A and B are shown apart, each in its own frame.
Chain A
Amino acid sequence: MNIVVCVKQVPATTEVKMNKETNTIIREGIEAIINPFDTYAIEEGVRIKEQGGGKVTVISMGIPKVADLLRETIALGADEAVLLSDKAFAGADTLATAYTLSLGIKKMGPVDLIICGKQATDGDTAQVGPSLAAKLGIPHTTYVRKIEEIREGTIRCQRLTEDGYEVIEMPLPAVITVVKEINEPRIPSFKGLMKAKKAEIPVWTADEIAADESLIGLKGSPTWVVSTFVPQHNVNSEMIEGKPEEQAKILVDKLLSLQLPLSK
């Protein structure tokens, strides 16, 4: 089974700083890490390979330095990693990114399963996985929390929903995006690290994947970021003061005044 895992380099913080002129992410001075959700994608790919055989190839589009992070994925059990890096890719939105990744994946030859993290912690769009499936013309399922079975050219997985999960079966090749409930990413071993240290990470340019210039980078990105912010969850808390008995009474009165439906 040929498995491809897509990963993204993100800043090691949720407070993303933007360049006000270009509205792109400022990456200088902030430590770069593999998008945490993508580490679950890598682990799932490696587990499928360990159980049923095959090969895991990791792919990323990014600056040359991303090669270091790709080396890390080898330590985590990936067999190979490819970096798509070219000045022409710079400023890509999710559409241009999906297009670029799709070309990289096509260049690899036949692929059975593509796994992405559910979203990146910097952009939080969750669009690249589904867009990639559309570009490749194959089905996808998002928010996968468990792969129930892979057999005879199909995959059956559990898709996390707000109130439970749904079971979805689709033909391979396909794209899935995974949530953190799916597994616990491993910590690399010495053996993995030694392998990673020696690994060569090929870098493919726009020419090498035969990209249409008008569809990559800033040119190929119809999205204009107006502003970005970290959503604030507003939970209104009220501290109840007083002796324990008084506190209990105030709490009960408040709850009763809300007239919440009581279960019987």
Chain B
Amino acid sequence: MSTEIQPYQVEFDEYLRDESRSVGHADSISFPKNEDELIEIVRKLSKTEIPVTVQGARTGLAAAAVPYGGHLINIGRMTRILGARYDEQDNRFFLTAEPGVLLSQLRKAVSSGEFEIAEPDDLTQAALCRYKAGEWFFSPDPTEASAALAGMVACNASGARSFCYGPVRPYVEALRLVLVDGRTLHIRRGEQKAKGRDFCLNLDDGSYIIGKLPDYAMPKVKNASGYYIEEDMDLIDLFIGGEGTLGIITQIELRLLPMPKAVWGITTFFPDEKSALRFVRGLRGEKEATGVEFSVKPAAIEFFNHKALDLLRIQKQKIAAFAHIQELKATYYNAVYTEFHADSEEKVWEMVEQMNQMLEALGVSPEDTWVANNPRDMEKLLVFRHAVPESVNMLIDQRRQKDPAITKLGTDMAVPDQYLDKIMDMYNGEIQTNGLDYVAFGHIGDNHLHVNILPRDMEDYRKGKALYLQWANAVSAMGGTVSAEHGVGKLKAPFLAVMMTDAGIEQMRALKAVFDPQGHLNPGNMFTMKKEGDA
């Protein structure tokens, strides 16, 4: 029976950890198959003092899905696509899915047009008649395609293409949620809004929740840290990026985008970091960086620093799966990956001309580029990009054999545009001063790099951790964020405390208390309810 609350046993060990490699503990576990079963489980628990952790596919990097005691609800069996809707007026296509649907599953359904909806209603049938495979896509593209949709919504996930399309948030049209006391809520974008910073949220049973929003201002960067707050905000946005602390997501309606006619991916290699950074700024339309007017908005701007390329060169020799990666010339110091989406090939060629002028201005040869304009070559570039984090994980696994306490220290911070050079100097300089090993890669278009400190021993690990906290301070002072896409979870709570200050955290606690007075739902994510537990 899937409403059963099973006592925890060793066979459930895998559910105690996620991709952050943190390991927690639980007293009981359940695997609901649908919303009714989940509600029944939550109602049973609401009569107890048992805290509840909800987890999806456990691909998170911040331990948000890792339980620290209490009950564990795994939504991995709620994997149906339930319905579709087509908005003819604005040419928009929507899909409704259960929370455990994986991104890979969604992508496959979207690209093939085979949604396997068991009992399609009239709206769904009408929508599917209009649907043509290959004409739509779901833009959020976190690297890990085995992520569950609810996990992506809970941490407001992004990906390379969010430079152009933004994170998951704008693509969530409606949510169904179960609150910690078992009440339910169906919220659709545009239907329930705050008045200034006051809100009244209507629930399905006619009851409502009245509360006050925190008065902090959101950082003006790509962000996945803390509750999303704005005056007069749409209340659906409280739950997106809320890390499961306000309610449990049981249904998600997602908006798809029309597929661009032309998709090009271009990897350019640079002989030094300064010219790569000038190129990035040029791509963002900062004419003073290269002297060339660049009028096209790229879908993605990604960076791989010199240490990342060095690591790939080594792993390419050692690992058979990486042998197919293209040859990396010795003169390639680092790489910038850019993706362009356009309505026609002609438009992409315009971009190619402008990009060539920029490369010329920077003294980079047009030969030092990999240009993919078909699925075959796009796949090759994707393999190259994914090989970097994979190589990091392999290296860390190797080092953990010597000392299992070692983990990689991966940052997820972003700063406003004007600080790009400053933040790069800070990362490079302080890593060097501390004699640490590292690679840096990621979403440089948003000044959002994943600096991965790779400790060789516990001494390195301690130094790295201290540096991480130091950077959280520096990034906060620049008006940036401590987590731009992975979410805060449990691991980054100390950094969120730095970024939000005590006052901000206290206001977030107050907001959570309106929904979950006992602090039973996903405790420890972003902050703890007990003040003395902050550290």
Contact = CB atoms under 8 A, between A and B. Distances in A.
Contacts of B349: 197
B425 interface: no
Nearest to B353: A194
Nearest to B368: A189
B366 A191 contact: yes
A188 B381 CA distance: 12
B5 interface: no
Nearest to B378: A187
Contacts of A12: 375
Interface string B353-377: 0011001000001111111111111
Given A184-B324, A184-B326, A190 B366 contact: yes
A184 B366 CA distance: 21
Contacts of B381: 187
19 contacts: A36-B376, A184-B324, A187-B267, A187-B326, A187-B377, A187-B380, A187-B381, A188-B371, A189-B366, A189-B369, A189-B370, A189-B371, A190-B355, A190-B359, A190-B366, A190-B367, A190-B371, A193-B352, A193-B371
A135 to B, nearest CB: 30
A189 B267 CA distance: 9
Which secondary structure dominates chain A's binding surface? helix
A187 B368 CA distance: 11
B376 A33 contact: yes
A84 B374 CA distance: 24
The B interface, classified by DSSP as helix, strand, loop or mixed, is mixed
Contact of B352 (A33, A184, A190): A190
A186 B368 CA distance: 12
A75 B373 CA distance: 11
Contacts of B368: 189
Interface string B458-490: 000000000000000000000000000000000
Given A187-B370, A188-B371, 16 more contacts: A33-B374, A36-B376, A72-B374, A184-B323, A184-B324, A184-B325, A184-B327, A187-B377, A187-B380, A189-B367, A190-B366, A191-B367, A193-B371, A194-B352, A194-B356, A197-B349
Interface residues of B, number: 27
B449 to A, nearest CB: 24
Interface residues of A, number: 17
Interface of A: 12, 33, 36, 39, 72, 75, 184, 186-194, 197
B206 to A, nearest CB: 47
A186 B326 contact: yes
A187 B268 CA distance: 12
Contacts of A194: 352, 356, 366
Interface in B190-237: none
Contacts of B377: 187-188
Contacts of A197: 349
Contacts of A187: 267, 326, 370-372, 377, 380-381
B271 to A, nearest CB: 16
Interface string B502-535: 0000000000000000000000000000000000
Contacts of B355: 190
A194 B377 CA distance: 17
B22 to A, nearest CB: 25
Interface in B223-272: 266-267
B514 to A, nearest CB: 46
Contacts of A189: 366-371
Nearest to A190: B366
A191 B365 CA distance: 8
A184 B377 CA distance: 12
Contacts of B323: 184
User: Which interface residue of A33, A75, A184 has the most chain B CB atoms within 10 A?
Assistant: A184
A46 to B, nearest CB: 13
A94 to B, nearest CB: 25
Contacts of A33: 374, 376
Nearest to A36: B376
B417 to A, nearest CB: 26
A189 B324 CA distance: 18
A40 B488 CA distance: 46
A39 B324 CA distance: 14
A33 to B, nearest CB: 7
B477 to A, nearest CB: 40
Interface centre among A187, A189, A193 (most CB of B within 10 A): A187
